[in-house]
Amino acid sequence: MLKDCPASKLYLIGFMGSGKSTVGKRVASLLQWPFLDLDDLIVEREGMEIERIFALKGETYFRDVESQVLKGLSQKKAVVATGGGIVERRENVDYLKSTGFVVFLRMSFDLFLKRLESLKEGRPLLAQDIEDVRKRFELRQPLYESACHCVVDVDGKDVETVAEEVLNCFSQRRRLG
């Protein structure tokens, strides 16, 4: 079974609302690996919610902390849900690719809009005008694609299906070496 694979991390990347945390928990359960959410680890380290970090210290500070927390992960095996902006720094992309297997959970902007209401709490970037959010979404798509080993489309799929597709990508990569 995959849980017996050599030490590695499985990173999930994608825009906010793509299901990184939800799918990540399911994948971790199937692998019998720990699940880590970078945003939760940042909140724990900073002692405040992400929205508050953005308001008090700004996005640059948040991105600095995000990079530090990513590089400080001590687990040998883990499924890690990253923040949506992790790919905006080349150093993070290089780190992700060199320390684990990266899966991009790709969704359409239409799906993002459908999920928007449930996403608003604790997401400072959603305070922006929707067209600004669309621009950020479109700018990040090629960053996600270049940062990943595998793409899994999430539109029209339930959590179980997406989790199985992530595992299929991961197991294929493991077999290929």
Q: Which of 133, 173, 152 is nearest to 23 (CA)?
A: 152
Tokens of 80: 């890690």
| Longest Cα separation, the chain | 46
Mean per-residue pLDDT pooled into runs of 10, the chain (177 residues): 59 95 97 96 95 92 96 92 96 95 96 74 61 92 96 97 96 64
pLDDT at 133: 87
Q: Would you call 2 exposed, middle or buried from its count of C-beta atoms within 10 A (0-12, 13-18, 19+)?
A: middle
Three-state secondary-structure class, residue 105: strand
Residue 50 neighbours by CB under 8 Å, 6+ apart:
39, 42, 43, 62, 122, 123, 124
* Cα–Cα distance measured from residue 32 to residue 63, given in angstroms and rounded to the nearest whole number: 30
Length of the chain (residues): 177
- Any idea where the domains of the chain sit in the sequence? 2-176
Q: Note the pLDDT of residue 1.
A: 37
CB neighbour list of residue 150: distance below 8 Å, 6 or more residues apart: 101, 102, 103, 104, 166, 169, 170, 173
State the burial class of residue 71 (Cβ atoms within 10 Å of its Cβ: 0-12, 13-18, 19+).
Answer: exposed
- pLDDT of 173 reads 72
Show the tokens assigned to 110.
Answer: 């239409």
> Measured between alpha carbons, how far is 21 from 6 in angstroms, rounded to an integer?
23
Superfamily of chain region 2-176: P-loop containing nucleotide triphosphate hydrolases (3.40.50.300)
